[in-house]
Structure formats: structure tokens, C-alpha cells
Amino acid sequence: MDVVGKDGLDSTHVLAFRRKLTHWYREHARELPWRGVHDPYKTWVSEVMLQQTRVAAVLEHYDRFLKLFPTIIALALAPEDEVLAAWSGLGYYRRARMLHKAAQFVVKELAGKIPGQSDELRKLPGVGEYTCAAIASIAFGESIAVVDGNVERVLLRVTGRAEEATAAGKAFIRVQAGLLVPHKRVAHHSNAAGDHNQGMMELGATVCLPRGPLCLGCPVYDLCATKGEHVTAPKGKQRSQTVAYLLETRKDGARTEVLLERRGDESSLMPGMLELPMLPLDAVEEREPILRVRHSITNTNYYVEIYTAPGMGDKKLRAAIPAARETLSWAGVGRLKELPLTGLARKVLMRMDLMGVAGPESPEMMRDEVRKALRE
DNA sequence: GAGACGTGGAC
DNA sequence: TGTCCAAGTCT
């Protein structure tokens, strides 16, 4: 078999590629909780969570999210803050808001029935070109190709085409992916298109790695034009910044509370979510933080310092956080995990062992807890 | 079409 | 206290 040329896959390549990939996927697919599931709602949740997010991070949220919101109706009926609380730590919180909105739309306007076709799915908020194809193929067996970062990398390497961020470059990849996806269901209990798409992504995620691809384990090595790394475009520069936050606790009888601050609704970054009160750097000069953590946001590495509440007579730190600021509120540590905390706040509170307290026993109790917390 | 939008793990 | 980046979408 000849390797694939610059013009892309021919019909011989297509048949061989499909066969090899499908066989490999059957043998090597990771066991993940959203695989082998026949509920379009669950497929949808998993696909949204997986957008630009590592499998390991999704594994920490997927089961709990579905326990809290087992059906699209449960999700549609939940208050937004509960949805955000369940999403806390996953990042890109707009995804959670859009998923919530879309669930409400499906329940209200479509009688709770998730559309079974990619072009209808595409109209839902938060469902773009990739996600509509993923849900349609995986949950409904539609013959439509997904193109995500994995698929693009695999196809660039297989064809030897140089990476270009142009409409023509994107179109080439889309065409190649479309040639490869199987045309229709072969049998009742199989899903050729869905399995093929997942196989393409699995190959990119576990074998055709961005750096140091494991070519010796690749099922389509024979066809591959490059058999190795393709040239990747240089990325933007990273920046670093130091920031400081206050960790202040108080006792209210047997209950421990921590001071939190709510971000403004107009904030572009994580609006309405809860974090620790920020301290100006000049207020903490020459002090020693009780904790240092790194927290990266897109292109910035934040070197975060956490300071405890000031002692008696310490005017400077105290003055840095006006007690009257109306965005401030005290939260009992027992219900922290039910609040829409930013990932950083969550990380710090976990690190300081303030979130290890046992939570509510059941989803119902948890919802009651959240409602109570949000009323205050 | 470029920029905004989170996070944590790997090296 | 450096850099990259993961199953994208929206504006």
C-alpha cells in the first residue's frame, strides 16, 4: 500500500484506513464512563465537558454532574448556580450556562426530546460544528465526520499537508474526514460512524500525540505520509503575574465560616462566581503567605499567594478589604462544594483542608443546601 | 478572523 | 515565577 499523497486520500486508502482504524479501536479503546451509553443527554453532557478539556478533568465531574442532573428535565429545572457549582473546576463556565439554556429550550420547545439530526443540534446554544457532529454520530448513528484537534492532527500527518489556519486548509481537513467516515449503519446494534469518529479521536489522543507520536503502535502507519511529527505553528508567549488573596475564617458556634467575594455579573471572566477576596500587592509587602499555588489562565501563569486574616492591631491588611463591601459574604465550610466557586478558590480551599467536610447525603439534600446558601 | 474564555498536568 | 496544550464555541 502506497502512502497517502499531498492531494489527500484516494478510495483505496479510505477503505484500508477505515478497516485498520476500526479494528484498532475495538482493541484499544479506553473504558470511559460515557462510552457504551445510549442516552443522547449523557453523550451531550460528555461532549460539552470534553471541549478543550482533558479526559482526567472530565472524569472528576461527569458522574457527579449526572447524579445531580440525571435527565435533561432535571437540568432544565435546576437553578443556574447549582449547575455552575457542579461545573466548578472544569473551566469555561460559559459552557455550563449554555448547556443549561439549551436544556431549557429542549424541554420547553421540543417536549424534552433532543434533536436527532446534526443540523438541528447545531442550533442549540453551545453546540458548534464539532459537537453537533459528535452527538449526531455517537448517539444517533448519523454518518457525519467530526473534526476536532485530534482529527485535524491525524489527517495532517497522514496526508503530509502543512498546517495552515486558512479556510482552504480547514476545508481540506473537513473533506478528508468526510471521505473516511462510514456511510451508514451496517447493523442494528452497531454504530459505524460513531465508532469511527471516536476511533479517530482516540488515535490522536493516545497514539498520534502532538509531541512524540507513538508511531510504532499506529494502525495506519503504512498509509501515513509523514510517519512522525508535523510542523506546528509557533504559539503566543506566556506571561506571569503575582496575585494575592485573603483567607479569613471565623467561628460561629460549632460552625466554621470563610469569607468569600462574589464576582460582578458584568465581569467577562467567571461572572457571578465566588472567590476569595483579592488583596492589593502593596498591602502584603514583606509578609509571608501561608500558601503559594500556581494557577494558569490561558496565556497567564498566576503565582498566587494566600494570606491569612490580619491579627489584632494590623491595620494595613484589614484596611485592604473594606468589611462593608457588599459583594462579601460568609459561607459555612460544610457547604463550600455546593457553591459556584472559581477553580482557584476551590483549589485553595481544598489545599487548606476546608472542603473535606462531609457534604449532604443525597442530591435532594444538596439542592436544599444550595438554595439555603444562595438565599443568604 | 482573531481574541476571549479556565484549568491542571507534563516536561 | 517556563511553556505547551485538551474531544471548541461565540463574538
For chain A, give every domain's residue range: 11-223, 239-375
The confidence band for A188, taking pLDDT boundaries of 50, 70 and 90, is: low
- Spatial distance from the CA of A267 to the C1' of B10 (Å): 32
Is residue A197 within 8 A of residue A133, CB to CB? The reply is yes
Please check the confidence at residue A324 and state whether its pLDDT lies above 80: no
What share of residues in chain A are helix, strand, coil (percent, to 5)?
45, 15, 40
Three-state DSSP class for residue A238:
coil
The neighbour count for residue A365, using CB atoms within 10 Å, is 12
Question: What is the tens place of the pLDDT at every residue in A70-91?
Answer: 999 999 999 999 999 999 999 9
Distance in angstroms: CA A354, C1' B8: 20
**CATH number attached to the domain at A239-375:** 3.90.79.10
Check residue A185 and give its pLDDT.
63
Residue A371: its pLDDT value, please?
Answer: 47
Report strand pairing: A249-252 vs A255-262.
antiparallel
Least confidently predicted of A114-118, A144-148, A214-218, A354-358 = A354-358
Cα–Cα distances in Å, from A77 out to A102, A108, A184, A250, A282? 12, 11, 36, 35, 45
Q: What is the pLDDT of residue A356?
A: 64
Of residues A365 and A118, more confidently modeled: A118
**Minimum-distance residue to C2 (CA–C1'):** A238
Strand B and A111 CB separated by under 7 Å: no
Selected catalytic residue, list A27, A31, A47, A109: A47
**pLDDT score of A190 more than 50:** yes
Please give the share of chain A, as a percent, with pLDDT higher than 70.
90
Q: What average pLDDT does range A133-158 have in this prediction?
A: 97
- Nearest-nucleotide field for A148 (CA, C1'): C7
Decide which of A314 and A118 is more confident.
A118
What residue type is A171 in one-letter code? A
How high does pLDDT run on average in chain A?
A: 89
pLDDT of A165 > 90? The answer is: no
Residue A54 pLDDT more than 90? yes
Report the CATH architecture of A11-223. Orthogonal Bundle (1.10)
Q: Which residue has the higher pLDDT, A237 or A13?
A: A13
Q: Is the pLDDT of residue A36 over 50?
A: yes
